[in-house]
Amino acid sequence: MPLNETISNYIETYIGASAGTYGSTIIAAAAIMFSAFIFAHIIDFLFEKIFKRLTKKTKFEFDDLIIAALKRPIFLTVIFIGFYTAIEILYNTGLNTINNIIFSVILVIWILATVKVTKIIFTHIIPKLTAKTDTEMDDEMIPLVKTMSTIIIYFIGFMFLLKGVWGVDITPLIASAGILGFAVAFAAQDAISHIFGGISIYLDKPFKKGDRIEIAKGELGIVREVGLRSTKIRDFYNNTIIIPNSQIANSKIVNYTSPATKMMVKITIGVAYGSDVAKVKRVLMSIAKSIDEVIDKPAPGIRFDNHGESSLDFAMIMWVKDPADKFTVIDKVNTAIEKEFRKNKIDIPFPTRTIIQQK
């Protein structure tokens, strides 16, 4: 049963009987309209003199805007309900077309009011919450979610208007909307996959802005921006790499910054066979401790790793506080190795190969 018929039956049962008992229906209808007018102005007075004063005492702006957005719809709703009730009393069974129009106007008023309140929330409340996060993706999602929310409100309101007020069968419309949505989703499946990848990154938070990460396909750099469709990282050559979020969501990610910012640097160096192992370790340790960017805890270590084909292989294990110092440390260590090995007469062998030719 449509909404207006339900209310009409209530009015006919209670208010209509009272009007027939106590006198002219015209006087009753006029009394209803007058009462609605007075009640609407009382509500308007409460909003103006009480609610507005209360919201002005708060430090927030959005409550003032919400009160302002609801004041007029409530005022008009009371007036239209009074008008509707008066028509029901005058014509007993009412005028269906006029009643439907009245309820349609009331519904439209509240659809617009809901959209306005939604915009206030997305403009004055949610941005303050997203500003506290480390990612910019939620900031990018605000316009999209705001638009989707507005569309959903209009759609639900329109469906309720057709079904609840006018009694129209909306099943074919819903089916058509479903087919249209499927067609749009199929046409934009790549874009949608990127967006869902972005949402996955936002929920899982495998990294944040400023983290140094490496993607499975080899992209390595500092996260500059996490967007809704893509993530931007800056590599060591100061290039910006833009990676679709769907690719990141399906890849293995190495985060060198989380949970701690310090990073291990390993350098392998080979010396000639016959070299004094203890001396080599002592020189390499001295080099590691002389580098400013190398931290004391964990302490650097020198390891004799392997007997290579043409060299004794040593590994220098060092830690840096900031991953950005990795390549600086590698440069300084290699430069110092070249200098100190020459000074201490430690040879770095060249790979050699002997070819025997038989005649």
pLDDT per residue over 98-134, tens digit each? 888 899 999 999 999 999 999 999 988 888 887 777 6
Q: What is the mean pLDDT of residues 86-96?
A: 72
Contacting residues for 101 by C-beta, under 8 A, at least 6 apart: none
Q: What is the pTM assigned to this prediction? A: 0.58
- pLDDT range class, residue 3, cuts 50, 70, 90: very low
Q: What is the pLDDT of residue 98?
A: 84
Domain ranges within the chain, ordered by starting residue: 3-186, 212-255, 263-343
Percentage with pLDDT > 90 across the chain: 36
Q: What is the pLDDT of residue 137?
A: 63
Contacting residues for 106 by C-beta, under 8 A, at least 6 apart: 76, 77, 80, 81
Angle at which helices 171-187 and 189-204 cross, to 10°: 80
Cα separation, 350 vs 83, in Å, equals 100
**Which of the 8 DSSP states describes residue 345?**
T
Q: What is the mean pLDDT of residues 9-37?
A: 65
Q: What is the mean pLDDT of residues 176-191?
A: 70
Q: What is the pLDDT of residue 49?
A: 86
Q: What is the mean pLDDT of residues 70-74?
A: 93
Q: What is the pLDDT of residue 17?
A: 47
| CA 284 from centre of chain | 49
**214, 202 Cβ separation under 8 angstroms:** no
What average pLDDT is seen over the chain? 83
Q: What is the pLDDT of residue 22?
A: 41
What is residue 29's three-state secondary structure?
A: helix
What is residue 318's three-state secondary structure?
A: strand
pLDDT in tens, 154-178: 999 999 998 888 888 888 888 877 7
CATH of domain 212-255: 2.30.30.60
Backbone angles phi, psi at 232, to 5 degrees: -110, 130
The residue with greater pLDDT, 94 or 267, is 267
Cα separation, 295 vs 311, in Å, equals 29
Cα separation, 11 vs 94, in Å, equals 10
Multiple choice CATH, 263-343, 3.30.565.10, 3.30.70.100, 3.40.50.20, 3.40.50.720? 3.30.70.100
**Which of the 8 DSSP states describes residue 211?**
-
Q: What is the pLDDT of residue 276?
A: 95
Nearest-5° Cα angle at 290, 298 to 337: 105
Q: Measuring CA to CA, which residue among 325, 313, 211 is closest to residue 269?
A: 313
Structure tokens, 266: 């390993």
Nearest-5° Cα angle at 341, 338 to 342: 85
Q: Which helix (H) or strand (E) segment is 54 a member of? A: helix 52-56
Q: What is the pLDDT of residue 2?
A: 52
Backbone angles phi, psi at 265, to 5 degrees: -120, 125
Which residue shows structure tokens 């639900």? 156
Q: Measuring CA to CA, which residue among 70, 61, 82 is closest to residue 109?
A: 70
Nearest-5° Cα angle at 22, 16 to 24: 75
Question: Using CB atoms within 10 A of its CB, is residue 345 exposed (0-12), middle (13-18) or buried (19+)?
Answer: exposed
Residue 9 has pLDDT above 60, yes or no: no
Contacting residues for 28 by C-beta, under 8 A, at least 6 apart: 15, 18, 19, 22, 89
Q: What is the pLDDT of residue 26?
A: 78
